[in-house]
Amino acid sequence: MKPPNKPTKEHKEIFKILSETFGGDPRVVNHGDEKEKSFIEIFSSVDTPQKSITSYGTIGLFDYPLLKDGKEYDARVELVGACGSNFKNFDNILATAAFSVINSKWFCCPGAVFRSEEHTSELQSRQYLVCR
């Protein structure tokens, strides 16, 4: 899979929803996995929802099916999160979680916990994301 050349109508709609939800001065950065096999766009907006907090979200994760017990689940997801603006790796954590859905078929659902232990060398600490 190659990075998208042009955002789709659906990707633009996700960007619009994230921008309206978080406000601020948003930007989008394309992230590739280690093998440059898969790509995901990560939205970020500094000082939203309040000063010294940065909000993040995936754009395009909904393009990939969620698999549960080897069968396609009748839902799609985007991941969102926020953290202190001084923490600079949250976009990488969100991208890693997205690549786990895309490449490893991790089933992301409310209550699921993403543990990034296998990525501690790149993240410099153990991180967790909880789906709600």
Whole-prediction pTM: 0.81
Amino acid at 34: E
Q: Quick one: average pLDDT of 93-105?
A: 90
Share of the chain above pLDDT 90, in %: 50
pLDDT tens track for 32-91: 998 888 999 999 999 998 999 999 999 999 999 988 888 998 888 999 999 999 998 899
Q: Which of 57, 54, 60 is nearest to 40 (CA)?
A: 60
Does the pLDDT value for residue 131 go beyond 70?
no
Cis peptide, bond prior to residue 49, ω within 30 of zero = yes
Q: Can you tell me the distance from the alpha carbon of 9 to that of 71, in angstroms, rounded to the nearest whole number? A: 27
Q: 66-73: which pairs have CB atoms within 8 A and are 24 or more residues apart?
A: 66/101, 66/107, 66/108, 66/109, 67/105, 67/107, 68/107, 68/109, 73/107, 73/109
Q: What is the pLDDT of residue 121?
A: 39
Q: Which of 24, 34, 92 is nearest to 55 (CA)?
A: 24
Q: What is the pLDDT of residue 5?
A: 63
The answer to whether residues 67 and 76 touch, using CB atoms and an 8 Å cutoff, is: no
Name the average pLDDT for the chain.
Answer: 83
Higher pLDDT, 128 or 17: 17
Q: What is the pLDDT of residue 111?
A: 74
The enclosing H or E element of 40 equals: strand 39-46
At residue 4's C-alpha, the angle toward residues 79 and 122, to 5°, is 50
Q: What is the pLDDT of residue 116?
A: 60
Rounded to the nearest angstrom, the gap between the alpha carbon of residue 64 and the centroid of all alpha carbons in its chain is 12
Q: Quick one: average pLDDT of 124-131?
A: 46
| Token pair listed for 93 | 């954590």
